[in-house]
Amino acid sequence: MLLENHKTSDNDLWMNFINGNDACFEIIYRKYADVLFRYGIQFTTDGNLVKDAIHDVFVKLHSDRQHLKAEANIKFYLFTCLKNRLYNLLKRELFFDKIDLEDNEYIDPGAEDQVTTALNQDEMQKTIRTVLSLLTDRQREIIYYSYIEELSIEEIAVLTGMNYQSVQNTIQRSLKRIRESLPLIIIFFFLCKKECFC
């Protein structure tokens, strides 16, 4: 049996899971359930709906595991599944008029000391939230994928249906807008401490 520890790679978890190891399925769930919730809440403020969608994703993941590819980026795969499931649920409930990315950013308490000399935590959160509100929904979505979840441009392109160059251009335009609006200390924090939104 594969034991859960910080050295267990996603590839090992995935391979053991699709080969029938339920312990690895449980580890994958515990590792990504909260990440998926933070991702899903961007598309709707209905937390219960997001939780239901995550449950559906994992139920389907377990039932379909014999048909899954041996090589997969777990986070990217789960993001894609959750986005599709939320789309269907929201459309079914007639809520899906347009995906509204909410300003649900969070400040990591452990990073407070790094910015105390410039801004307190509440001020920084307000500043970042204000600046991100100046971005378009698409820009915020792509910045989230790139800087918070660290997806590659190729993965973002697949997830959003955009081409490689469009994703790259969107990231560059978004960062330019951020640099123009944020104090230097917050730019450093934003680019170097991605977990500030997690």
| Range(s) of the domain holding residue 192 | 109-197
Q: Does residue 186 contact residue 123 with C-beta atoms inside 8 Å?
A: no
Residues 107-140: tens digit of each pLDDT: 344 434 443 434 455 565 566 667 677 888 888 8
Do both 76 and 146 map to the same domain?
Answer: no
- Gyration radius of the chain over CA positions: 18
Lowest mean per-residue pLDDT among 15-29, 87-101, 164-178: 87-101
Q: Report how far residue 113's alpha carbon sits from residue 47's, in angstroms, rounded to the nearest whole number.
A: 31
- The number of residues making up the chain comes to 198
Separation CA 179–CA 187 (nearest Å): 7
Residue 81 resides in a domain: yes
**2, two tokens:** 């594969």
Identify the domain boundary among 63, 92, 121.
92
Query: What integer pLDDT is reported at residue 165 of this predicted model?
Result: 93
- Number of domains making up the chain: 2
Q: What is the mean pLDDT of the chain?
A: 74
Percent of the chain with pLDDT over 70: 67
Q: Looking at the structure, do residues 115 and 83 belong to the same domain, yes or no?
A: no
CATH of the domain at 67: 1.10.1740.10
> Of 38, 63, 92, at which residue does a domain stop?
92
Q: Is the pLDDT confidence value at 193 over 60?
A: no
- pLDDT attached to residue 191: 52
pLDDT at 117: 39
Q: Are residues 87 and 122 in the same domain?
A: no
pLDDT tens per residue, range 9-67:
888 888 888 888 889 999 999 999 999 998 888 888 889 999 999 999 999 998 888 88
Q: Who contacts 118 (Cβ-Cβ below 8 Å, separation ≥6)?
A: 124, 183, 185, 186
| Domain final residue pick, 29, 63, 92 | 92
pLDDT value at residue 123: 61
| 148 vs 27: which has the higher pLDDT | 27
146 and 172 in a single domain? The answer is yes
Other CB atoms within 10 Å distance of the CB of residue 120: 11
Between 124 and 156, where is the model more confident?
Answer: 156
Specify the pLDDT at position 78.
92
Same domain, 127 and 179: yes
> What's the CATH code of the domain at 188?
1.10.10.10
18 and 74 both lie in a single domain = yes
The one-character DSSP state at 4 is P
Please report whether residue 146 resides in a domain. yes
CA distances from 105 to 38, 102, 155, 169, 190 (A): 9, 9, 22, 23, 11
